[in-house]
Amino acid sequence: MAALEAAGGPDCARFVGGCVRNALIGAPVADVDIATTLKPEETDRAIRAAGLKAVPTGIAHGTVTAVSERQPFEITTLRRDVSTDGRNATVAFTDDWAEDAARRDFRVNALYADGEGRVFDPTGEGIADAAAGRIVFVGDPETRIQEDYLRILRFFRFFAWYGRGEPDAAALAACRALVSGMSRLSAERVSKELMTLLAAPDPRVAMAAMAEAGVLAQILPEAVAGPLLEAAVEQGTDPVIRLMTLLPSDERIVRAASARLRLPNSTRDRLAGAAVAAPAIGLTMSDPEVRAAVYRFGGRAVADALHLRMAERPAQAGDGRRLLALAEAWPRPSMPVGGRDLARLGVEPGPETGRLLKAFEDRWIADDFPADGHAERLAVLVRP
């Protein structure tokens, strides 16, 4: 801030958006963004003159990133929209703080603060909204959404994280009316917003409102928001498990949804693994049955499937937690014999080798993975 003010004078730079909002409500601040009346090239020079690192991350849109003590600060010139197409905006730079505020999405995000901590609220409602847990669009909701249809998802995401009570009625009506415009959005933008929403401490009200407004059906037509999600929220905050509760336990459907949303491979594999394992998983399993399932499906898949079963039967959650601890802690062993062991017993390589190894593995699993006696068991299978 001192570097910018040295170049542009007092009040040329203010903290903006989430860092101000979170500071006001006592929430952790992760990213610090700054707005300035300086033009991007002036910002760049000011940062370098102060001995800081400057990265031209978005010069065309007015953004330069300053790096101080290894922490990035995005610094963006005040802007006004010239034209929008529902995804991208053509902007012009301005020195009018009110114009910059008018193009932002929600009143709680149109808050500014100077280096002394004085807060500026151009809409006149942002501070009150932050205190009350209201997520309200700046100006006309439909206009804000038509500028960028991702704001539909951002509305529900911000409500999940910062909202209280019931979502704003005018915002919901606008989301419902314009939901089809979300088809213009990239899958990556949609999936990122969805997963961040699901990671909120309690996304249930936001998800129910999304479903009622037709937004959930637009982005994830396979999904059903209901009791399973309700129960999953009580179990923990893992957004992947919460997403599992919205989808059927069908590997084909899960993989198709993952591909359409372009979910990360790790998320796709967890969803598919749980769908494959789920039919074999129950909350009345014995310890040997849990170990057998972990061996066949993997510990992560079994644990995720157990979370699904616990969501289905909350009254048996105690049993599920015990099985979950076993599934997560048991080290999956490797098959203790192989083709070479059979060769030493005189078995020629070929189909018979595969049949004998499969028979051995089935017995080894049924006997709960004994640690020794493998040669004797294999010899019994080989004997005519």
| In-domain check, residue 229 | no
Q: Taking residues 344-368, report their average pLDDT.
A: 93
Q: Is the pLDDT of residue 290 over 80?
A: yes
Domain boundary among 332, 351, 367: 332
What's the pLDDT score for residue 58? 82
Q: 34 pairs with which residues across the strands?
A: 15, 75
| Dist CA 141 CA 368 (whole Å) | 61
One domain, residues 248 and 299: yes
Kindly indicate the confidence band of residue 72, based on its pLDDT and cuts at 50, 70 and 90: very high
State whether 116 and 184 are in the same domain: no
The structure's pTM equals 0.89
227: in domain: no
Contact indicator for 75, 19 with CB cutoff of 8 Å: no
Q: Is 272 part of a structural domain of the chain?
A: yes
pLDDT tens for residues 303-341?
A: 999 999 999 999 898 899 999 999 999 999 999 999 999
Domain endpoint, select from 219, 246, 267:
219
pLDDT at residue 85 is higher than 80: no
Cα distance between residue 291 and residue 365, in whole Å: 8
Mean pLDDT of 245-261: 94
Residue 133: what residue type? G
Kindly state whether residues 168 and 291 are assigned to the same domain: no
Q: Are residues 37 and 110 in the same domain?
A: yes
CATH of the domain at 38: 3.30.460.10
The domain boundary, picked from 100, 132, 164, lies at 132
Query: Strands (DSSP E) along the chain, which ranges?
Result: 13-16, 32-36, 53-58, 63-68, 71-77, 79-84, 89-93, 112-113, 119-120
Residue 348 lies in a domain: yes
Encode burial over 307-325: b for 16+ CB neighbours within 10 A, e otherwise.
Answer: bbbbbbeeeebebbeebbe
Per-residue pLDDT at 57: 85
Same domain, 324 and 344: no
pLDDT of residue 83: 67
DSSP string, 178-235: TGGGGGGS-HHHHHHHHHHHHTSS--HHHHHHHHHTTHHHHH-TT---SHHHHHHHHH
Using an 8 Å Cβ cutoff, are 360 and 381 in contact?
Answer: yes
**231 assigned to some structural domain:** no
Q: State mean pLDDT over 25-49.
A: 95
How far is C-alpha 204 from the chain's CA centre? 15
Same domain, 78 and 121: yes
Distance CA 263, CA 309 (A): 24
As a whole number, mean pLDDT of residues 99-111 equals 95
Q: What's the whole-number mean pLDDT along residues 233-254?
A: 92
80: Cα within 13 Å, side-chain hemisphere: 8
Take residue 164 and report the two structure tokens written for it: 């209280």
Residue 225 reports pLDDT greater than 90: no
Do 350 and 320 reside in the same domain of the chain?
A: no
151 is written with which tokens? 């704001």
For residue 74, count other CB atoms closer than 10 A to its CB: 18
Q: Looking at the structure, do residues 374 and 355 belong to the same domain, yes or no?
A: yes
Per-chain mean pLDDT for the chain: 93
pLDDT for 172-189, tens place per residue?
999 999 999 999 999 999
Same domain, 252 and 211: no
Count of domains forming the chain: 4
Which pair of tokens denotes residue 36? 């300035």
Is 64 domain-assigned?
A: yes
Give domain status of residue 275, yes or no: yes
User: What does the pLDDT look like over 124-172, one tens digit per residue?
Assistant: 999 999 999 999 999 999 999 999 999 999 999 999 999 999 999 999 9
CA distance 286 to 366: 12
Within-domain flag for 93: yes
Rounded to a whole number of angstroms, the CA Rg of the chain reads 28
* CB burial of residue 128 (10 Å; 0-12, 13-18, 19+): middle
**How much is the pLDDT for 38?**
96
pLDDT above 80 for 90: no
Say which DSSP state 136 is in: -
Beta strand pairing call for 32-36 and 71-77: parallel
Structural domain including 351 reads 339-382
Beta-carbon neighbour count of residue 182 at 10 Å? 21
- Let me know whether 215 and 324 are in one domain: no
Q: Do residue 21 and residue 124 come from a single domain?
A: yes
CATH number at residue 207: 1.10.3090.10
Query: Coil, helix or strand for 58?
Result: strand
- Residue 89: predicted pLDDT: 67
Distance of CA 89 to the CA centre of its chain: 25
pLDDT of residue 91: 80
Same domain, 267 and 209: no
